[in-house]
Amino acid sequence: MLAAKKDGAFILMILPSVIGFSVLFILPVLLSFAYSVTDWSMYRRTIKFIWFDNYVQLFKDEKIIAAVINSIKYAFVITVVQNILAIAFAVFLHRSCWGANLLKSVMFFPAVLSIMVVGYLFKYIMSSLDYGLLNRIIGLFGGPPVNWLGSARLALYSVLITQVWQWTGWAMVIYAANIKSIDPNLYEAAQIDGVSPWRKFTGVTLPLLYPAVSFNVLMSLIGGLKVFDAIFAMTGGGPGYSSATMMTLLIQTGFNTGRLAFACAFSVVFFTIVFTISRAVMALFNRWEAAVT
């Protein structure tokens, strides 16, 4: 009887969350799947099934193909660069005692800022106009101005630089916490055996960083695939579609053109890509965990 009352209390406690999750997430996802096979539009009063026509149009649209490639490229680069830098800083600050906590705080500070604020700030810093701070600094050394955000070749990578700057400190703090949990006796044993610092890192530190690496890589990868704020604030997806991502184009398709069913089909493709890549990365980390343990 007491167990039944406890179970009932637990169900009542989680019921609001379950209802909210179902209404705000599960139901919209199911409706997106349903509407993706229709011709639903802001300019039509009736809705009819057109089956997979929206998906066929998706894979014929050069803008969408470019956005998918940009999103995957962005996610891959930011994941690799951010985590390599974060691990390097975490290892360095773990060995360095004086001022380490202050440096960690300074490096973590950008993650506290709004992504939109950072985006608009760097839009000013990277401006190709006369007031662009970065180009003025380059000019002091005699260099030519660089069109950071107006060049189809540089725009996406300019946004990447700002996001690496903003989120590397956040990942570093997680790595630093993981390093502190590693048993110091392992390093002492390696020291007695005359192991080099690089071998200590690859043989002791890196394998035991598995929890932090798996979390940070997955979060930065998913965040990179879903990037919208920074792109919207700095380039708007331009010039042309050179820095457009799946999220920026998805929102433009749904709200600017009114092609709601087409946007739903795009969201289904987006969900499939993110889910597939995430599952593949998780499978790789599961194999790494099995090898470490």
Question: Which residue's entry shows tokens 């709004």?
Answer: 114
How many angstroms separate the CA atoms of 24 and 146, rounded? 44
Question: Which residue's entry shows tokens 């969900």?
Answer: 271
Neighbours of 5 (CB within 10 A): 9
108: nearest Cα among 133, 92, 90: 90
pLDDT value of position 217? 94
Q: What is the DSSP letter of 278?
A: H
Mean pLDDT calculated for residue range 121-126: 92
Q: Are 111 and 165 in contact (CB under 8 A)?
A: no
Does pLDDT of 2 surpass 60?
Answer: no
160: nearest Cα among 282, 64, 69, 73: 73
Read off the tokens for 265.
Answer: 């089909």
Q: Which of 157-166, 172-181, 256-265 has the lowest mean pLDDT?
A: 256-265
Mean pLDDT calculated for residue range 16-39: 90
Half-sphere exposure (Cβ direction) of 235: Cα atoms closer than 13 Å? 31
221: nearest Cα among 268, 285, 265, 288: 285
34: nearest Cα among 48, 18, 20: 48
Does pLDDT of 91 surpass 80?
Answer: yes
pLDDT value of position 80? 95
Read off the tokens for 235.
Answer: 């380039």
Does pLDDT of 216 surpass 90?
Answer: yes
Q: In the structure, what pLDDT confidence band is assigned to residue 293 with cuts at 50, 70 and 90?
A: low
Q: Where are the alpha helices (DSSP H) in 22-127?
A: 27-35, 53-58, 62-95, 100-108, 115-125
Amino acid sitting at position 289: E
Mean pLDDT calculated for residue range 83-97: 87
pLDDT value of position 19? 92
Question: What are 51-71's pLDDT values in tens digits?
Answer: 889 999 988 888 889 999 999
Q: In the structure, what pLDDT confidence band is assigned to residue 119 with cuts at 50, 70 and 90?
A: very high
Q: List, in sequence order, every beta strand (DSSP E) within 66-156.
A: none
On average, the pLDDT of the chain sits at: 88
Strand partners, 49: 38
Question: What are 226-283's pLDDT values in tens digits?
Answer: 999 999 999 988 888 899 999 998 888 888 888 888 999 999 999 999 999 999 999 9
Does pLDDT of 100 surpass 90?
Answer: no
pLDDT value of position 207? 87
Return the CATH number of 61-257, one of 1.10.3720.10, 3.20.20.220, 1.10.1580.10, 3.10.20.740: 1.10.3720.10
Neighbours of 98 (CB within 10 A): 7
Q: In the structure, what pLDDT confidence band is assigned to residue 97 with cuts at 50, 70 and 90?
A: low
- Which letter, b or e, does each residue of 207-217 get, where b requires 16 or more Cβ atoms within 10 Å of its Cβ? bbbbebbbebb
pLDDT value of position 160? 94
Q: In the structure, what pLDDT confidence band is assigned to residue 5 with cuts at 50, 70 and 90?
A: low
